[in-house]
Amino acid sequence: MTFKYSVGQLVEFAPPSEMPALYRVARQMPVEDGHIDLAYLIKPERQGFSRVVLECNLSADVLSQEEYDRMPTRRMQR
């Protein structure tokens, strides 16, 4: 398996119950036996915390930061 995204590359990620946001790949995580997808450590371009996500949840089709800033915030109702 080869990684689709490089360290430093900008990607789009849409966490559950939130709008998509711009993130930067901080690290390609070690490949684990039995896993069918690769993982990355990503950090938001704006303030926030890092997270580990699977490659299938990322997109290289990114917008400008200004376009993400204009998106309404979406939160799940409980």
Q: Which residue has the tokens 């993400």?
A: 68
The alpha helices in the chain, defined as continuous H runs, are 65-70
| pLDDT for residue 78 is more than 50 | no
- The mean pLDDT value for 40-60 works out to 91
- The mean pLDDT value for 25-39 works out to 91
CB atoms within 10 A of CB 66: 7
pTM, 2 dp: 0.78
- The full set of domain ranges for the chain reads 10-70
Q: What share of the chain is helix, strand, coil (3-state, %, to 5)?
A: 10, 30, 60
- Percentage above 70 pLDDT, the chain: 91
Q: Which residue has the higher pLDDT, 71 or 78?
A: 71
pLDDT tens profile 33-46: 877 899 999 999 87
